Amino acid sequence: MQAQPLRKIRLAGFRSIRDMGEGLELRPVNVLIGANGTGKSNLVAFFSLLNHLMIEELSMWTAQSGGASDQLYYGSKASRQIEWRLECFDGPDRIDYSTTLRHGAPDRLVIAEETLAHKLSGGEMHPERFPNGGEESKMVKWVNAAGGVWVRVLWRLIEHTKVYHFLDTSPTARAKQTWRLADNASLKWDGGNLGPVLHRLRAEHPDRKSTL
């Protein structure tokens, strides 16, 4: 079962992102460009949260990111929870992953709701609700249970969703330094080998280079 790229994100209550409304439609390659303070870095941080949630390290990520209140829109006094829904498709089949995180004492994020729903082509959505109330995802316990195949599809999807953050545009940025042409196997998260990767694409995959 081959997971397709993530198709849509609906996110609310996370850092500077109050509510995405109908959500953000995604394609296989997505580029975020905008002025400072528009939420680009916070959307990137959401994927970091998501990856740590998948490996039962949400509490560690929260602590290292400044605490739960810093993750909530305008802090815990203004917002009490973070909500999201991810939509993806495996061919004609659909997979949705919805989660609600709430602020808990002393300053932690607690999973209030976690649901994975799947629909075969032409069928109805079948939700799998995981136990809640703790600081870590319970999905890992469901991998070998009924419906576990859909959990494995979701894991593979999130694992294969790569985020690159070219935040530094100063003269000392890694993307502006001298490169080794052989350092072109895969693009580094900060664009530190952007030149060699583009050179390889132009030589070996000119159609993909043109797409970029």
DSSP string, 41-98: HHHHHHHHHHHHHHTT-HHHHHHHTT-SGGGBTT-TTT--EEEEEEEEEETTEEEEEE
pLDDT tens across 48-60, in order? 999 899 889 999 9
Interatomic CA distance for residues 83 and 61, integer angstroms: 17
- Cα 177 to chain centroid, rounded: 29
Asked if residue 91 lies in contact with residue 4, where contact means CB atoms within 8 angstroms, the answer is: yes
161 neighbors 88 (Cβ within 8 angstroms): no
**What is this structure's pTM?**
0.80
What is the arithmetic mean of pLDDT over 66-80?
95
pLDDT at position 146 is 59
The residue length of the chain stands at 212
| 160 band by pLDDT with thresholds 50, 70 and 90 | confident
Residue 127: asked if its preceding bond is cis (omega within 30°), the reply is no
Check pLDDT > 70 for residue 114.
Answer: yes
Q: Which long-range contacts does 98-101 make (Cβ < 8 Å, 24+ apart)?
A: 99/53, 101/58
- Which residues in 170-191 are b (16+ Cβ under 10 Å) and which e? eeeeeeeeebeeeebeebeeeb
Whether the predicted pLDDT of 211 surpasses 60: yes
DSSP string, 84-128: EEEEEEETTEEEEEEEEEEEETTTEEEEEEEEEEEE-TTS--EEE
What does the pLDDT look like over 103-113, one tens digit per residue?
Answer: 999 999 999 99
Instruction: Say yes or no to pLDDT of 71 above 60.
Output: yes
Q: What's the pLDDT tens digit per position in 176-201? A: 788 899 998 988 877 888 889 989 98
